Structure 1
Amino acid sequence: MVHPPTPSQPPDTTGPARRGMSREEFRVIAASSVGTAFEWYDFFLYGSLIPVIGSKFFGGYPPAAQTVFALLTFGIGFVVRPLGALVWARFGDLVGRKAIFMITLIIMGLSTLAVGLLPTSAEIGWAAPVLLLTCRVLQGLAISGEFGGAVTYVAEHAPPARRGAFVGWLPATVALSIFLSLGVLLSVQFITGPEAFDAWGWRLPFLISVVPLAISVWIRLKLRESPLFLRMKAEGAQSRAPIRESFTRRRNLRVVLIALAMVAAQSFVGYVSTFYTLTLLTSTLKVDTLTANTLFLGLMLCAFLLCGFFSWLSDKVGRKPVMLAGFALAVATYFPIFHGVAALANPALAEAQDRVRIQLVADPADCSFQFNPAGTASFTSDCDRAKQLLARWSAAYENVAGRPDAPVTVVVDGRTLTAGPGLEAELGDALTRAGYPAEGSGTVRIDGPGDLLDGRVVLLFLLLLALVSYAQMTQGPAASAMVELFPTRIRYTAMSLPFQVGTGWFGGVAPAVMVAINAEAGNIFAGLWYPTIMIVIGAVICLLALPETRGIDLDAVDTAARPARRLARRRGTAVG
């Protein structure tokens, strides 16, 4: 099967398609969304608690090394996801959606809960980080089979004319779970206080997850198997080798690659609007954590609603128009929006970046590309240290090639500073005199409810909301489109791998790559070129190669694959 057949006319939106959601359909969506909620609740929670987790589980190391090892355990989940996707999805296509659905949820939920129960390195030594790593590996493996199974299960229950709206609840849950994790984290910190939170309160957000875990297991126990899978099984039309059929047959592989391009592009839009933007606000623009998290609480609540809207809209006008509009708006407005964000969040810094001329003069061979997503690289040259100091001040600078035998220098509005032990103090003094603000000075702040209506806060929120809107325009329709590209016999397998590779290996590392590009170029906006170019590539592939699948009958996708199976049977060869 290369392309699923496109409906010759718009789907019927009268009669059953317009009825309200049944109790069974609501149960299917609710039970499926819980796994997605677990995935992102744990993801954001663990990322927010990196310093605490580092100190608790790697306490025998210096603070910098603690952060390094905590980040490594965080990243291992991304590494194992494609492997888990192949394993779980294969069994999902062979034995059924419901069984795998339940297994991955339980593994994922118990692993998240276990993090809150683990003894620390001060209590059991080296066994503590080993247990933490085990939990993260299990979470990564379970998560990799969860989303593909959830989307497949919901889509195979949904009426064709409303499939986008039904499936859209799952990516919408991503925003809602980030909202909930932020809310839980801030609430626990407020209730326990800083000292108690550091001592034991950090465990509570993980332990609280047992409540939705118990509810979701109870709901999923009441679910029935996917009707399309049961019919396929009754007809004896299952794939004997879904992995081989998905990835070694040229026609299916072509569709997998198209799906990968689509997922990668929408992942760039999603990660830029959330994790990169939050990093930019707090690390680069020096906005305090409370203000940034408060803004994102509101943004994620809006994102939840917007994803549902754009998913519904894709049932009316098509998956491709909504997705391509999101891609186009992102590419066209990223640079002006981020310039506006900088000017509103920290106007003194934005003004200094435009006005103060700074040059870093160094031999290019002495300078490293500052890509360090896991914190394991060591940047020790004079050029690297100068770049790190400039990045700490969020300074905009120009790289100038120096002679190999000349010392590294930083020129600030004509004042030349030579690299050495005193560079940090001298550079700080020079930047302050030139007009760079001290950290936290003049930044946007939300200290109370009244600040929420401040004009500067409102304008900043609206700019950030535009970025979040682009993500929802692409994520909701993309989830439905992926399901509709593949036949039931290989659907779980064929969509899970491109999804995990696209989100984990492309979108997932995008913020780290962008930060590295910013440091390399000496410009906090230079990194935007990376997602912009990648989104353009993905959008062009979608425009030219992605079929429109709105309202398609999933049985028609299966029917399109049957001639090849009949030919294989006549020749006496195995299918898959």
Structure 2
Amino acid sequence: MTEPARHPDVQPSTSDMRLVIAASSMGTVFEWYDFFIYGALGAILTKAFFPSDNPTLATLLFWLVFAVGFGFRPLGAVLFGFLGDRLGRKYTFLVTVTLMGIATAGVGLIPSASSIGLAAPALVILLRILQGLALGGEYGGAAVYVSEHSPPARRGYFTSYIQASVVGGFVLSLIVVLACKGLMSAEVWQAWGWRMPFLLSLALLAISLWMRLKLSESPVFQAMRDEGELAGNPFVESFTYPGNKRRLFIALFGIAAGLTVIWYTAMFTGLSFLTTAMRVEDTRAQIIVGISAALGMGFYLWFGHLSDRLGRKKPIVWGYALTLLAMFPAFWLMGAHANPGLTAAAARAPVIVSGTDCTFSPFASEQQTQCGKLLGDLSALGVPYSVSGDAYGDARINVSGRELPLADYLWDDKAARGKQLQALLAPSGYDLAKVKPTLQDSLIIGFALLVMMALSGATYGPVAALLAEMFPPRIRYSSMSIPYHIGTGYFGGFLPFISAYIVAKTGNPYNGLWYTWFVVLMAFVVAAWGLKGGAPRDYGDDAA
């Protein structure tokens, strides 16, 4: 099979290169803002669209619908990858950003479930599907477009702006949420003000389209089109091109899966951990995480630049190895300083539950047994617990050797017994009110988050250049988009749901991290085995 020209005669000027990076990066910021705003407003959206008597079930439903968007990303990668390899890079990612902006604004217009019933979550799911389809085509288009304009010696650095812009979208979503909350009363924000960040995506869409319409087509794609070397069916060729199945395997299990779970654990799990298990006041947690993410963007650029000198493999493999060692300590450090009183109480006076049929179902609107109801109440409060081997008799809670009095426990009134349980736990040091960490503690939490961001930067910063270099130009858009979005869509998109489920089942707020740990272990093994070391290889070389 003949390989098309790899070095087009047309090279962009310095000013053209700045426009390419700015337009591609800003468009990606806006796209990821659209996607992350859903997660940033999780608490409000859960009440508006997924009301339930079981807070844990409502949270799981919210994260499951969040994952639906990710689940459709691979289909978007197939569809827009095909168009990108057949019709061009530029016009394809113009379509993706338009679809994303319209779908996001639509979420802000959906009436609440109290007004239209089940139609509300159904419409949310539909728009999340459209968002997932759009995002499936966006990243590949932006990454390919920048990489095909970049000089080989600086490809890692230039494409790292695409990686950093993913974090930028997350930061922008937090900034907009905090700004809107600050400009409105609490009552207005809860009633309808939360819709404004969604509607603002239309303004962001206009800016992104204005910038991207000024771009020209990729010089690599132009050269292939002029020479008649475009793929007939990029999707089919992605699986039949010599050596490509091995590359796809490495890209999926060794690159996309690992980098995604580290990034999502650093930001999404970090934010959720602070606001739920650690009971940190929402705005304070968002500020800490937002500042940490903004500072952490520099790691993406630095590791992208470093990969131009050391090769793509070293930062990624070493990033995986350090994540396996540092992730749990980073979260333990956050827990110790986010809410020292609650952490000390959990260590000094652990909660042990026992009784007949002492199991908890996160998917049940109400638990069937008294012991199950206790586990549900503790899970809703974010109190860590363990279940005793004594599985018979009446439901009991033992705290530091003292059995709590449950004779008057209001088993049939969920809201009342939740408050009752807080009062019973208070003498043991369990203060479940929202807290605002001190400045010193906030800085330490930020440091722990920066450690996670550095690990994410090491594994994510070089990736756009690496994936572009792994696949031949004629099928590059499809071949890099498909494994990337399967890995990020399924391993990463379902991470919040799986982690929340593990925490709900075990009663330990740190146990959800084991999902990330095992996915990173898999990625480490595959990347160490499959990626070749040495200097970066040019387009079409067998880098895998």
Report the TM-score when normalising by structure 2: 0.87
In 1, Cα distance between equivalents of 2:234 and 2:421:
60
Q: Which of 353, 375, 397 lines up with 1:410 in the alignment?
A: 397
Tell me the CA shift for residue 343 of structure 1.
1.1
Match status 1:361 vs 2:354: yes
For 1:372-387, what aligned pairs fall within 5 Å after superposition?
A: 379-387=367-375
Structure 1 residues 525 and 555: alpha-carbon distance in aligned structure 2, compared to 1, 3 A threshold: closer
Aligned to 1:189: 181
SS in structure 2 of the partner of residue 526 of structure 1: coil
Match status 1:428 vs 2:422: yes
Q: 1:373-417, CA deviations, whole angstroms, 9 ceiling, x for partnerless residues?
A: xxx8765444432222233444443333344x6444332223345
Aligned to 1:106: 98
What amino acid does structure 1 have at the position aligned with 2:246?
A: R
In 2, Cα distance between equivalents of 1:175 and 1:474:
14
What amino acid does structure 2 have at the position aligned with 1:410?
A: I
How many aligned residue pairs are there? 527
Aligned to 1:440: 434
In 2, Cα distance between equivalents of 1:257 and 1:276:
27
Tell me which moved more, 279-288 or 321-330.
Answer: 321-330
Structure 1 residues 259 and 121: alpha-carbon distance in aligned structure 2, compared to 1, 3 A threshold: same
In 1, Cα distance between equivalents of 2:129 and 2:90:
23
Tell me the CA shift for residue 120 of structure 1.
5.9
Tell me which moved more, 94-103 or 235-244.
Answer: 235-244
**Structure 2 portions without partners, runs of 5+:** 2-10, 412-416
SS in structure 1 of the partner of residue 230 of structure 2: coil
Aligned to 1:9: none
Structure 1 residues 51 and 257: alpha-carbon distance in aligned structure 2, compared to 1, 3 A threshold: same
Tell me the CA shift for residue 513 of structure 1.
2.1
Aligned to 1:324: 317
Match status 1:285 vs 2:278: yes
What amino acid does structure 2 have at the position aligned with 1:524?
A: P
Aligned to 1:115: 107
In 2, Cα distance between equivalents of 1:119 and 1:526:
36
Task: Tell me, yes or no, if the aligned pair for 1:161 and 1:550 is still in contact at 8 Å.
Answer: no
Tell me the CA shift for residue 358 of structure 1.
3.1
Aligned to 2:6: none
For 1:251-270, what aligned pairs fall within 5 Å after superposition?
A: 251-261=243-253, 262-270=255-263
Aligned to 1:246: 238
Q: 1:253-283, CA deviations, whole angstroms, 9 ceiling, x for partnerless residues?
A: 2211110111101111111110001111110
Structure 1 residues 215 and 425: alpha-carbon distance in aligned structure 2, compared to 1, 3 A threshold: closer
Aligned to 2:25: 33
In 2, Cα distance between equivalents of 1:55 and 1:345:
26
Q: 1:481-528, CA deviations, whole angstroms, 9 ceiling, x for partnerless residues?
A: 111111111111111121112112112222332233233333322332
What amino acid does structure 2 have at the position aligned with 1:512?
A: F
What amino acid does structure 2 have at the position aligned with 1:386?
A: L
Tell me the CA shift for residue 221 of structure 1.
1.6
In 1, Cα distance between equivalents of 2:378 and 2:134:
41
Tell me which moved more, 493-502 or 235-244.
Answer: 235-244
What amino acid does structure 1 have at the position aligned with 2:483?
A: P
Tell me the CA shift for residue 457 of structure 1.
2.2
Aligned to 1:310: 303
Q: Which of 192, 197, 201 lines up with 1:205 in the alignment?
A: 197
Q: Which of 456, 459, 479 lines up with 1:471 in the alignment?
A: 456
What amino acid does structure 1 have at the position aligned with 2:354?
A: V
Q: 1:509-560, CA deviations, whole angstroms, 9 ceiling, x for partnerless residues?
A: 2233223323333332233222122212211110111124753221546xx9
Q: 1:154-181, CA deviations, whole angstroms, 9 ceiling, x for partnerless residues?
A: 1111111111111110110122222221
In 2, Cα distance between equivalents of 1:141 and 1:475:
22
In 2, Cα distance between equivalents of 1:266 and 1:384:
37
Aligned to 2:4: none
Task: Tell me, yes or no, if the aligned pair for 1:368 and 1:379 is still in contact at 8 Å.
Answer: yes
For 1:325-340, what aligned pairs fall within 5 Å after superposition?
A: 325-340=318-333
In 1, Cα distance between equivalents of 2:231 and 2:63:
39
Tell me the CA shift for residue 56 of structure 1.
5.4
Aligned to 2:344: 351
SS in structure 1 of the partner of residue 447 of structure 2: helix
Aligned to 1:499: 484
Aligned to 2:377: 389
SS in structure 1 of the partner of residue 462 of structure 2: helix
Structure 1 residues 399 and 120: alpha-carbon distance in aligned structure 2, compared to 1, 3 A threshold: closer
Tell me the CA shift for residue 369 of structure 1.
6.1
**Structure 1 portions without partners, runs of 5+:** 2-16, 446-453, 562-576
SS in structure 2 of the partner of residue 284 of structure 1: coil
Tell me which moved more, 78-87 or 283-292.
Answer: 78-87
User: Percent identity among equivalent residues?
Assistant: 37
